[in-house]
Amino acid sequence: MHRKTLGFLGPKGTFSEEAALCYMQKCRRSLQECSSIPAVLEQTSQGLLDEGIVPLENSLEGGVGVTLDLLAIQNGLFICREIIYPVHHCLLASSATALGDIRQVYSHPHALGQCRIFLEQKLPGATCYTTESTAAAARLIPKVSGAAAIAPRRAASIFDLRLLAENIEDSVDNVTRFVILARRDSDPTGRDKTSLVLSVPDGPGSLYLVLGFFARASVNLTRIESRPARRSLGDWLFFIDCEGHRLEPKLAQLFSELSCAVPFLKLLGSYPADPYIA
């Protein structure tokens, strides 16, 4: 029997891989590394992967811009699952490197942002550099003198690094919401969420009027986030999550009416809500 392939942001040792392994406890998959988040989406949309897992938002840093921007324009991809995963960062260095030796810190931009307090208090003189992923930062460390990486604890064993500090994130409640992407979304389960992205007409109170569609239909919103539409200044997209499945009559009617009232609307998928409790 063919085992479905699941793409993740590599190399091994990223939080994306950890979330993928968590997902695989319920669904058997063959993991495949991808070089970037855009590569995960592209290979999934082309059918080179059955599914892809990407970070969507973090409790400290908010939405993952590259994921949101690509979901708005990538055709043929839908969210079919979500995974809320606890994120705990570690400071990793080569075996001979002590905390006082560190002059450079490497990591993914979101990881650096989630550890601001630690960096300011413990490494105020260090220069921060961004990498494509946390594991890519860890892989780089043996080649750079006086350097450390912010990465998952598991990356220390993968890349033979020393654990200098752990749980260095600004909040112990730090979690990242990952989504599984596929070429179709999920069937209704009775405990679903639906994600969509839309633009609003130009005019006073336009967002208020759009949100009124959800209020009149008694549909609860669980998230709303704005992103530049990457066209002209002041042109915005709104990413919305709501309770329910798009095939439910109430939501189907809501989206039908809403599509006639806004310049752009794209359903990103309906999927089971993750029951994660912090």
Helix axes 37-45, 65-73, angle to 10 degrees: 20
Measure the CA–CA gap between 118 and 135, rounded to whole angstroms: 19
Q: Is the peptide bond before 11 cis (omega within 30 degrees of 0)?
A: yes
Residue 184 has pLDDT above 90, yes or no: yes
CATH 3.30.70.260 domain residues, the chain: 192-272
| Two structure tokens written together for 258 | 């809403």
Q: What residue type is assigned to position 10 of the chain?
A: G
pLDDT for 1: 55
Can you give the pTM of this predicted structure? Answer: 0.88
Report pLDDT digits (tens) over 44-97: 999 999 999 999 999 988 899 999 999 999 999 999 999 999 999 999 999 888
**Record: fold of 192-272:** Alpha-Beta Plaits (3.30.70)
Whole-angstrom CA distances from 154 to 57, 83, 91, 253, 268 are: 22, 19, 12, 47, 32
Measure the CA–CA gap between 149 and 141, rounded to whole angstroms: 7
CB 22 within 8 A of CB 176: no
Poorest-pLDDT segment among 2-16, 65-79, 154-168 = 2-16
Residue whose C-alpha is closest to residue 47's, from 157, 174, 183: 183
pLDDT for 38: 95
Domain 5-87+174-182 in CATH 3.40.190.10: yes
Q: Assign domain 90-166 one CATH number from 3.40.50.970, 3.40.50.2300, 3.40.190.10, 3.30.565.10.
A: 3.40.190.10
CATH 3.40.190.10 domain residues, the chain: 5-87+174-182, 90-166
Helix axes 249-259, 206-216, angle to 10 degrees: 160
Please list the alpha-helical segments (H only) found in 99-196: 109-114, 116-122, 134-140, 154-158
User: What is the β-pairing status of strands 192-199 and 236-243?
Assistant: antiparallel
239: enclosing H helix or E strand: strand 236-243
Residue whose C-alpha is closest to residue 139's, from 153, 114, 124, 156: 156
Q: For 137-166, what is the mean pLDDT? A: 94
Whole-angstrom CA distances from 67 to 40, 86, 123, 148 are: 10, 19, 30, 27
Residue 278 has pLDDT above 50, yes or no: no
Give the chain's largest Cα–Cα span: 63
Poorest-pLDDT segment among 2-6, 32-36, 80-84, 165-169 = 2-6
pLDDT for 232: 66
Q: For 90-119, what is the mean pLDDT? A: 94
Report pLDDT digits (tens) over 10-48: 889 899 999 999 998 888 888 999 999 999 999 999 999
| Two structure tokens written together for 22 | 């968590």
pLDDT for 119: 97
SS (H, E, C) 194-227: EEEEEECCCCCCHHHHHHHHHHHCCCCEEEEEEE
Chain-wide mean pLDDT for the chain? Answer: 92
User: What residues have CB less than 8 Å from 216, skipping those under 6 apart?
Assistant: none
Report pLDDT digits (tens) over 219-234: 999 999 999 887 766 6
Q: For 159-166, what is the mean pLDDT? A: 95
| Two structure tokens written together for 219 | 């549909």
